[in-house]
Amino acid sequence: MKSISVASGKGGVGKTSFVINLALALEELNQRVLIFDADLGLANVDIMLGLSPKFDIRYVFSGQLTLSDIVLKTEYGFSLIPAGSGVNELTHLTTSQKLLLRAQMEEAFKPYDFLIFDISAGISDNVLFFTQLAEEKIVIVTPEPTSLADAYAYLKVATKRARLKEFNLVVNMVRDDQEGKKIYQQLLFVCEKFLPDLKLGLLGILPYDECVKRSIRSQIPYLKLCPDAKISVKIREIAMKILQRRNLRKDKELEQFLERFTNL
């Protein structure tokens, strides 16, 4: 099981739509995918998919159900662990809540090839916690200066406080690849100057596309709604790239994941 985190610092840059369509693109490549909605106070993945889950992570923390019990299989093939919405106390997980997750994660995650964390905006403790768990760490930015500033703030906290060293960038909502590359260069320049330990790669560039808005309004992933749109082609390329550089020691992935958890 390979774990991936998707964060951004700033909200509204396209994390949740990216996570859903990446899950679908990996699913198309015959991978078994589980999305963990780690935006614990403000669940969005279920809404974007038009689902109304009966159970969510709150049932796990209250001890009524296990993590495996609340896994929801979507009509698209991939599965989802829904977050609770409007629950302030979830925005900062306690140590005992984390330990509860630790105890139940192995069983819940074992059946999957990929686990994707849709992380909340900001640089809170939860954001760092889920980032630290993931093997592959993705950051999403848009060409807006505020998005770049917030992505930098996130990377700074992740490298300085959590000592994480490798991230991959996805530039979203660009006019063309040229603009995407420029944004990557800009962020890379600042990171090389002020965060010299950090290795920042470029995973992909996604265009601005009206289909994304239509897809969210109709609660259907854009990969289904506009399968031939440029953004759909691009997200498939990203899925392929992620699949290709998957850990060769697949059997070790879950073990390493649990080890990272224990070392936190």
Give the residues lining the site for ligand ADP (CB under 6 A): 8, 11-17, 44, 172-173, 206, 208-209, 212-213, 216, 231
Listed ranges 12-20, 151-159, 161-169, 252-260: which one lies at the site for Mg ion (CB under 5 A)? 12-20
- Identify which of residues 153 and 258 has a Cβ nearer to ligand ADP in the complex: 153
Distance CA 66, CA 73 (A): 16
Are the CB atoms for 60 and 66 separated by under 8 Å? yes
Distance CA 103, CA 53 (A): 23
Q: Which token pair is 171?
A: 């530039």
What is the side-by-side strand order in the sheet with 199-207? 72-73, 79-81, 33-38, 114-119, 2-7, 136-141, 166-174, 199-207
Provide φ and ψ at 46, rounded to 5°.
-60, -40
- Identify which of residues 14 and 257 has a Cβ nearer to ligand ADP in the complex: 14
82: partner contacted, choices Mg ion, ligand ADP, none (Cβ within 5-8 A by kind): none
User: Which residue in 38, 68, 41, 44 sits closest to 55, CA to CA?
Assistant: 68
- Identify which of residues 133 and 206 has a Cβ nearer to ligand ADP in the complex: 206
Least separation, in Å, of the C-beta of 111 and ligand ADP? 26
Q: How many Cβ atoms are within 10 Å of 161's Cβ, its own excluded?
A: 12
Site for Mg ion in 17-46 (CB under 5 A): 44
Least separation, in Å, of the C-beta of 243 and ligand ADP? 22
Biggest CA–CA distance in the chain, Å, is 51
Least separation, in Å, of the C-beta of 189 and Mg ion? 28
- Identify which of residues 44 and 132 has a Cβ nearer to Mg ion in the complex: 44
Least separation, in Å, of the C-beta of 64 and ligand ADP? 28
The binding site for Mg ion (CB under 5 A) comprises 15-16, 44
